[in-house]
Amino acid sequence: MKQFYLLTLFILLFATNCFASNFIEGFEDIPLMKGLIQTKNDDFSFANEETGITEVKLNAKKKINFSNVKKFYKESLSQMGWSIKNESAESISFYRENTVLDIQKIKNTPLKISISLKNIY
pLDDT digits (tens, 9 = 90+) for 1-34: 555 444 454 454 444 344 446 999 988 889 999 9
Q: What pLDDT score does 87 carry?
A: 97
Cβ neighbors of 15 (< 8 A, separation 6 or more) are none
Distance from the Cα of residue 61 to its chain's centroid: 16
Q: What pLDDT score does 48 carry?
A: 74
Percent helix, strand, coil in the chain, to 5, is 25, 45, 30
Q: What pLDDT score does 18 carry?
A: 43
Distance from the Cα of residue 68 to its chain's centroid: 13
Q: What pLDDT score does 80 carry?
A: 95
Q: What pLDDT score does 19 carry?
A: 43
Is residue 36 within 8 Å of 66, Cβ to Cβ?
Answer: no
pTM of the model: 0.78
Cβ neighbors of 72 (< 8 A, separation 6 or more) are 33
Each residue's pLDDT, cut to its tens digit, for the chain (121 residues) gives 555 444 454 454 444 344 446 999 988 889 999 999 998 887 777 777 777 889 999 999 988 999 999 999 999 999 999 999 999 999 999 999 999 999 999 999 899 999 999 997 7
